Amino acid sequence: MGTVNVINVAAKHKPAWYQRLYSYSIANGLWITLKHFIKAAFLKGAVTLEFPEKKRKFSPRFRGMHTMKRDEIGRERCTSCFCCMWICPADAIKIEAGHVTPEIQHLHPEDKFAKKFEIDLLRCIFCGMCEEACPKGAIYLDGPAEMAADNREDLILTKERMMQKVGGPILGERL
């Protein structure tokens, strides 16, 4: 059997004597508070945003509300393949498939479509696995960030609430 080199991380990163003092940690916290107070009170560099008037800029990697995309012609991309439902670790997605009839053939590219598509935001953990699993590029987590609701029914996203009105190309990989 071979030997294993074990590194004692706690001994390697031993704090200095002054960092172990209780008063040092209190002084550090008070210094940060004082800096924010001076910046907000005297230098007009407010730390908070005036929310309804000013919106926060999010990173391109931000996962917001779920949206369902259409293709360039305006047809629904979702073909109810159930990949997003099966891969969801929180079991938040429910899909009911329907067959395309000749009357609605112009709205759907294949022979199946999602008759009912619901995402329960109370269960969703916003992991993005549904977005990665979708072979058609139908579902993305790029919607708005405001997800507050007054009742539980508003936190269940239906297909009609998620569907975009206009079509476009499939978005590339996330950054």
Q: How do the pLDDT tens digits run along the chain, 175 residues long?
A: 566 676 676 667 777 888 888 899 899 999 999 998 888 888 776 667 777 788 888 887 888 889 999 888 888 999 999 999 999 999 999 999 999 998 988 888 889 999 999 999 999 999 999 999 999 889 998 888 788 889 999 999 999 999 887 777 776 654 3
Q: What pLDDT digit, counting tens, does each position of 52-66 carry?
A: 788 888 887 888 889
Inside any domain, residue 153: yes
Which pair of structure tokens corresponds to residue 41?
Answer: 């009170």
Q: What pLDDT digit, counting tens, does each position of 104-116 carry?
A: 888 888 899 999 9
Same domain, 41 and 124: no
Same domain, 34 and 103: no
Q: How far is CA 3 from CA 6, 11, 12, 31, in A?
A: 9, 21, 21, 47
Numbered residues of the known binding site:
78, 81, 84, 88, 124, 127, 130, 134
pLDDT for position 9: 65
How far from the centroid of its chain's Cα atoms is residue 47's Cα? 24
Inside any domain, residue 147: yes
Numbered residues of the known binding site for [4Fe-4S] cluster:
78, 81, 84, 88, 124, 127, 130, 134
Inside any domain, residue 111: yes
Same domain, 83 and 111: yes
Report the run of H or E that residue 119 belongs to, with start and end.
strand 112-120
Inside any domain, residue 175: no
pTM higher than 0.95: no
Number of domains the chain is built from: 2
Same domain, 78 and 33: no
- Per-residue DSSP letter, 63: -
Q: Give the residue among 110, 111, 128, 109 at the shortest CA–CA distance from 71.
A: 109
Same domain, 94 and 157: yes
Q: Which residues form the domain of 133?
A: 65-162
Same domain, 44 and 127: no
Same domain, 37 and 77: no
Which pair of structure tokens corresponds to residue 53?
Answer: 């008037």
Same domain, 89 and 147: yes
* The residue to which tokens 């405001």 are assigned: 146
Inside any domain, residue 92: yes
Q: Residue 73 belongs to a domain with what CATH number?
A: 3.30.70.3270
